[in-house]
A and B are shown apart, each in its own frame.
Chain A
Amino acid sequence: MNVIVCVKQIPDPALPGSQDPNTLTLKRDGKLILDESDSYGVEMALQLVDKAGGGEVSLISMAPNNEVSGLRTALAMGAAKGILISDPALLGSDALTTAKLLAAAVQRLGGADLIIAATESSDGYTGTVPEQIAEVLGLPSVTFAKHLAIADGKLDAQRQTEEGYDDVTCPLPAVVSVTAGVVEPRYPSFKGIMAAKAKPVETVTAADLGVAPVGWGGANQKIVNVVQAEARAAGTVVEDDGEGFAKIVAFLENLKVI
């Protein structure tokens, strides 16, 4: 069984985010790391391949400046190889263009039994890319999977909904987006980190994948305004001296909710 995982490499979320003053897009020029949301998909893929008793996990990532550090993290977890889509022309690409590029990379790898992505990225979170990839490839999809099992050439998933969850069954090949928490991602071992350095990563451009137009030209959207939101007025913050609860009671009384 072969599984492809779409992984995003993003600025460290622990650092404050910022926008490029000229293009108003999120800045992504520093060192990038593997989006934590994608570590669940990588782990899921590794477990499924392991269970199937054969096959491999491949990665696809689109990132500026030939960035591979996040890809290496996923390779160190156990993925076999990767494709990196990196091309200055891609700056400003929207989610639809991204999906077309990722879908083309899936085809370049010869397809797979299963394509896994996170429900949304941690930095841009448009939240449509997995389902768009499925549509570009003409594949069925199960989004928001919080549980996933494969048997007899089909997948069974629990798909999170607003009210609970649905049991969904789907033939392969298929695209699945997985929620954080679907599995517990492993930490790369030292051996894994060393091995990852030698694993093949092919770098391709939009032209290599035959996708056009890309970047701002293909985005059909333009940021027109950026403003600071009105800040909330500062409140009272007090140290609990054992009577903190009484301050809450008084606050609620004052609002006449108790």
Chain B
Amino acid sequence: MNIWVFAQAANGAPTSGTLELLTKARSLGEVTAFFGGDATEISAALGDHGAAKVYATGDLAGNLPGIAVASAMKAVIDGGDSPDLIMFPQTTEGRDVIARLSVKLDRTVLTNNTAITVEGDTVSCTTPVFGGATLVTTAFTGPPPHLAAFRPKSFTAEPSGGAPAEITAAPLPDLGASGGATITAVHVEERSGPKLDEAAIVVSGGRGLGEAAKYEMIEQLAKLLKGAAGASRAIVDAGWVPYSYQVGQTGKVVKPNVYIAAGISGATQHMVGMKGSKNIIAINKDKEAPIFGIADLGIIGDVHKVLPKLIEALQAR
């Protein structure tokens, strides 16, 4: 099986989601990475996770990756190198590329997956629904290339010791009217401490905090535990914290050693993003809150009472 992985990079290194997919892909077949940009800096890491080759578009010149990378992929496929399967990280860019490409190739997509199996020519993907309570497996029944997107942390990244991926140019074709959108500025919301999706401890706050200013308690606690601060979508939508803090179906997937949910109800869309945590602690004043259903330790109580005392106790240590 000939597999492409849509590769993404940040700060000169492939993203963890990219390395996870490469690791999984190499257990299924021959792997080629496809990168929207200049791959010089990342070809070693891509090779070390299983990509023998990387197609690179070169600088995207302000084009949005969705239309640009999908067009470049289509050009390579039309040129005669057509994979059986293309794997995408379930990220904003991954979603845009898979969507544009699905129309260009007239292929269906399977998204939000956490597992994949290949038996003979049949490729099947599994996605959790109803907050992860049920797992649905769907097989592609049409002709390849099959297009599938995977949630972060579905697989574990492991080096293969492979040589740097050989870089092959996949120049951007003329994008026409569809390529009209241009990026004029990039804003990175800096945050201190470990990254949310890599931290060993994550402390998340939700609407139960009552007001934006109280999120300070979450930041403080995260810092004391050398962890990262996260959030439910309710308080991201309310503008209390940036989107990069969001844990869940449409945010980050986290699997820390300890996850602390404070004032979070445990909506299914939140739970799919943190259910894989080793240990879950929940603080909620409602004993019926669904979050208690998956908590290893649940405290039925007021965050405004429990958190200050917890912070004080940790500061005193």
> Given A169-B181, A170-B180, are A221 and B102 also a contact pair (CB < 8 Å)?
no
- B136 an interface residue at 8 Å Cβ cutoff? yes
Residues of chain B lying within 8 A (CB to CB) of residue A170: 180-182
Q: Which of A44-52, A53-61, A202-210, A225-233 contacts its partner?
A: A225-233
Q: Could you say which residues of chain A place their CB within 8 Å of the CB of B96?
A: 131, 141, 143
Q: Which of B270-317 contact A (CB under 8 A)?
A: 275, 279-281, 283, 287, 292-302, 305-307, 309-310, 313-314, 317
Q: Which residues of A contact B104 (CB under 8 A)?
A: 135
Determine if B297 and A229 form an interchain contact, defined as CB atoms under 8 angstroms apart: no
A17 at the interface (CB under 8 A from B): yes
Q: Is the CB of A163 within 8 A of B306?
A: no
Could you tell me the distance in whole angstroms from the C-beta of A37 to the nearest C-beta in chain B?
10
A137 to B132, CA, bound (A): 35
A193 lies within 8 A of chain B by Cβ? no
List which A63-106 residues lie within 8 A (CB) of chain B. Answer: 94-96, 99
Residue in B10, B93, B106, B111 with the greatest tally of chain A CB atoms within 10 Å: B111
- Residue of A17, A134, A221, A235 touching B110 (CB-CB under 8 A): A221
The answer to whether A226 and B310 touch across the interface, beta carbons within 8 angstroms, is no
- Does B257 count as interface, using CB distance less than 8 angstroms? yes
Give A199-258 interface residues, CB cut-off 8 Å to B: 219-229, 231-232, 234-240, 242, 244-249, 251-252, 255, 257-258
Contacts of A125 in B (CB 8 A): 111-112, 249-250
CB of A24 within 8 A of chain B? yes
Partner of A248, one of B188, B201, B239, B281: B281
Residues of B close to A255: CB separation below 8 A: 257-258, 279
Tell me the smallest distance from the CB of A226 to a CB of chain B, in Å: 5
Whether A167 lies near B302 (C-beta < 8 A) is: no
Question: How would you classify the secondary structure of chain B's contact residues: helix, strand, loop or mixed?
Answer: mixed
Residues of B within 8 A of A251 (CB): 279, 281, 296-297
Contact, CB under 8 Å: B109 / A96:
yes
State how many residues of chain B have any CB contact under 8 Å with chain A: 95
B130 CB → nearest A CB, Å: 6
Question: Contact flags (1/0) for A163-184 with B, using CB distance below 8 Å?
Answer: 1111111110010000111000
A residues less than 8 Å from B179 (CB atoms): 140
What residues on A are CB-neighbors of B225 within 8 Å? Answer: 252, 257-258
Query: Does B67 have its Cβ within 8 Å of any Cβ on chain A?
Result: yes
Classify chain A: how many residues form its interface, as a range. Answer: 35 or more
Q: Does B137 contact A (CB under 8 A)?
A: yes
Kindly state whether residue A39 has any CB partner on chain B within 8 Å: no
Distance in angstroms between the alpha carbons of A251 and B305 in the assembled complex: 18
Say which one of B32-40, B44-52, B138-146, B206-214 lies at the interface with A.
B138-146
Query: Which chain A residues border B295 with CB–CB below 8 Å?
Result: 235, 237
- In angstroms, Cα B95 to Cα A95, docked, is 12
Task: Give 16 new A-B contacts, CB below 8 A, not counting A225-B124, A247-B297.
Answer: A94-B108, A119-B250, A138-B176, A161-B92, A161-B93, A163-B244, A166-B183, A168-B182, A224-B138, A225-B135, A227-B137, A232-B280, A236-B296, A240-B299, A245-B313, A248-B281
Query: Which B residues contact A (CB, under 8 angstroms)?
Result: 10, 15, 64, 66-67, 70, 91-93, 95-96, 98-100, 102-104, 106-112, 124, 126, 128-130, 132-142, 176-189, 200-201, 225, 233, 236-239, 242-244, 249-250, 257-258, 260, 275, 279-281, 283, 287, 292-302, 305-307, 309-310, 313-314, 317
The 4 closest A-B pairs by CB, nearest first: A240-B301, A220-B142, A140-B180, A131-B99
